[in-house]
Structure 1
């Protein structure tokens, strides 16, 4: 059985165990703040974080600012994106009393774990990581040391707070598998300081962008959560369609039309084909009108809550200050354990 199939097979038992004793678990999840959060983030991951938090699972959300420079040469606007990400997640229902928000660069002890962790993996294992391989192929340039060690960075993010649950999609499973390897090898070489985390496959649908491809910050096909209703309408109006007036759901042959239908369907809880049948011969104009209304209606409560929270200028900084302080305390305690296990506590 391959890794993905084995993980799928474990999900019912894992979900049952979490539901039976949520307070015994800790989740680590987060964002790489390379841009503003969009509808795909909300539907794909944030709603699951809110569900886990409300069930009683202790939740940590990392804003991995150092990881912004794994594949780009500037950290421009990173502060803006960090604060926006916190604001959007608070607006979605995450409670800073139950969820610890922290920034990667604010936790020095977390990064010190990288050194012993790097000694536990080989260069070949890092090169085999799918994210590293894909980035190397796409960039057309030399692989940076930071990009090569990106999977170990993520292992440190997970293990410093001893998280045992990591919500992921299929493409992120190798990162959690390497984290499990590092936890096991540390125990074999030194002492059992870490528990091996379990990947928790999310039930989130693949959220298509307005062009039918996966919704992404970099593709310009995403509806940003912080947009106004008018900005949303303008973006959907500019979306490409085709010349066929009859609206049908056909992701292979009509990706742009199908992307709009999927967006409207996800925001109204309906099937894309049902939305298409309702529009019928109404053409692209009616399709865009229906999609705009669906998105703006769906996001209205989020936007209202976001505006309310943003009216307090010190709120986000206070949430981060308290979260960073807690993460620092936990990371320093973990690093002290690691030093003790390695005989390096002087």
Structure 2
């Protein structure tokens, strides 16, 4: 998840967006303060689509925060959103391998399955059944207005499918089935949380005024830095500019070596005018905990070759413990499957209980 820079906008629509963001930011700050004081009162839901391997962007952008929340005592849940793969893809090829590799990466990074529930969409039918009542609580125009749906539709090149259109509602099911009340997101995903809050509020108002079923979850706005790919663009598997957590040291070195820079020998940190060089410096900074400007000054006139060597050594040193844990975990795939099956079992029990509450509130328990 990435943070986006919100430019000032003097239009009425812009003022509305700004007001909405400011309200979300205030709620995020208040929620974080309450969470720090009493983490056990909070349930967090987050997750990933199993479309490929996790990379450094995922690690610094979301996984570290999940581990921090888990270790703090928040009730942490991670969904592997396998059904959402087909919102913009025509195949589920390699999906089993991708799902199991996500579990391995989570465990290698410090996720504890005894503290965090890891589960998949497709294994929890009661959660998906919440889609039916939830869809009745939103209008077609509200679905079309969601900016993430618009962006993903344009990026995919597909006609608008029903699943893509209702993608935010499916996310609301993910969050609300376990009574999630905090969701860590970047600014770009705030509209998803807002529609989830709307669904929770409308359900309670329509069917459960005296005994509300769902909390209205708060977005916790991520403080993680925006992590560029090695070429200065957004880090993405499809761009070939991302360092996978599971890549070997040799593969990492090869990828960094072929990453583009520019013709200027002196190394400086200037994200606007020198995005490619600055992306390499940012990567090195994250891996070492150092200021990218300090690294640039240290390399100075030694040029791009010295920079790439420093980045390679830094990233490989940083990832070495993760890779070692990952390799050890991959030796016992039966245990990996058992962890996922146990998470699915726990998620099913929670989902069935929530669905029973929903049916009872709607007068549909016969």
Which band: TM-score by shorter chain?
over 0.9
Structure 2 Cα separation of the partners of residues 135 and 227 of structure 1: 28
1:189, CA displacement in angstroms?
Answer: 1.1
Q: Is the Cα contact below 8 Å between 2:28 and 2:218 reproduced in 1?
A: no
Give deviations 1:268-290, integer Å, cap 9, x for gaps: 11111111111111111111100
| Alignment of 1:107 onto 2:127 | no
Structure 1 Cα separation of the partners of residues 158 and 68 of structure 2: 41
Structure 2 Cα separation of the partners of residues 64 and 76 of structure 1: 15
Which stretches in structure 2 are left out of the alignment for 5+ residues?
A: 1-17
Residue 286 of structure 1 corresponds to which residue in structure 2? 306
Mean alpha-carbon deviation: is it higher for 212-221 or for 141-150?
Answer: 212-221
Residue 88 of structure 1 corresponds to which residue in structure 2? 105
1:136, CA displacement in angstroms?
Answer: 2.5
Structure 2 Cα separation of the partners of residues 10 and 110 of structure 1: 27
Q: Is the Cα contact below 8 Å between 2:88 and 2:158 reproduced in 1?
A: no
Structure 2 Cα separation of the partners of residues 54 and 141 of structure 1: 41
Residue 322 of structure 1 corresponds to which residue in structure 2? 342
Inter-CA distance 141–94: structure 2 relative to 1 (3 Å threshold): closer
Structure 2 Cα separation of the partners of residues 289 and 209 of structure 1: 17
Q: Is the Cα contact below 8 Å between 2:78 and 2:117 reproduced in 1?
A: yes
1:301, CA displacement in angstroms?
Answer: 1.2
Structure 1 Cα separation of the partners of residues 264 and 65 of structure 2: 37
1:213, CA displacement in angstroms?
Answer: 1.5
Structure 2 Cα separation of the partners of residues 36 and 157 of structure 1: 22
| Alignment of 1:208 onto 2:228 | yes
1:35, CA displacement in angstroms?
Answer: 1.1
Structure 1 Cα separation of the partners of residues 60 and 158 of structure 2: 34
Other structure's SS at 2:256 match: helix
Superposition map of 1:47-66 within 5 A: 47-66=64-83
Other structure's SS at 1:182 match: helix
Residue 142 of structure 1 corresponds to which residue in structure 2? 159
Superposition map of 1:23-38 within 5 A: 23-38=40-55
Give deviations 1:227-250, integer Å, cap 9, x for gaps: 111110011111111221111112
1:100, CA displacement in angstroms?
Answer: 0.3
Residue 56 of structure 2 corresponds to which residue in structure 1? 39
Residue 271 of structure 2 corresponds to which residue in structure 1? 251
Other structure's SS at 1:61 match: strand
1:135, CA displacement in angstroms?
Answer: 1.9
* Among 87, 90, 93, the residue aligned to 1:73: 90
Structure 1 Cα separation of the partners of residues 156 and 116 of structure 2: 35
Provide the aligned C-alpha RMSD in A.
1.1
Structure 2 Cα separation of the partners of residues 65 and 42 of structure 1: 20
* Among 21, 24, 48, the residue aligned to 1:4: 21
TM-score by length of 1: 0.98
| Alignment of 1:299 onto 2:316 | no
Which stretches in structure 1 are left out of the alignment for 5+ residues?
A: none
* Among 198, 214, 222, the residue aligned to 1:194: 214
Structure 2 Cα separation of the partners of residues 226 and 15 of structure 1: 32
Structure 1 Cα separation of the partners of residues 312 and 70 of structure 2: 31
Residue 242 of structure 2 corresponds to which residue in structure 1? 222
Residue 5 of structure 2 corresponds to which residue in structure 1? none
Other structure's SS at 2:333 match: coil
TM-score by length of 2: 0.92
Structure 1 Cα separation of the partners of residues 207 and 146 of structure 2: 25
Give deviations 1:152-192, integer Å, cap 9, x for gaps: 00000000111111111110111011000000000111112
Residue 288 of structure 2 corresponds to which residue in structure 1? 268
1:24, CA displacement in angstroms?
Answer: 1.3
| Alignment of 1:335 onto 2:355 | yes
Structure 1 Cα separation of the partners of residues 134 and 48 of structure 2: 22
Residue 8 of structure 2 corresponds to which residue in structure 1? none
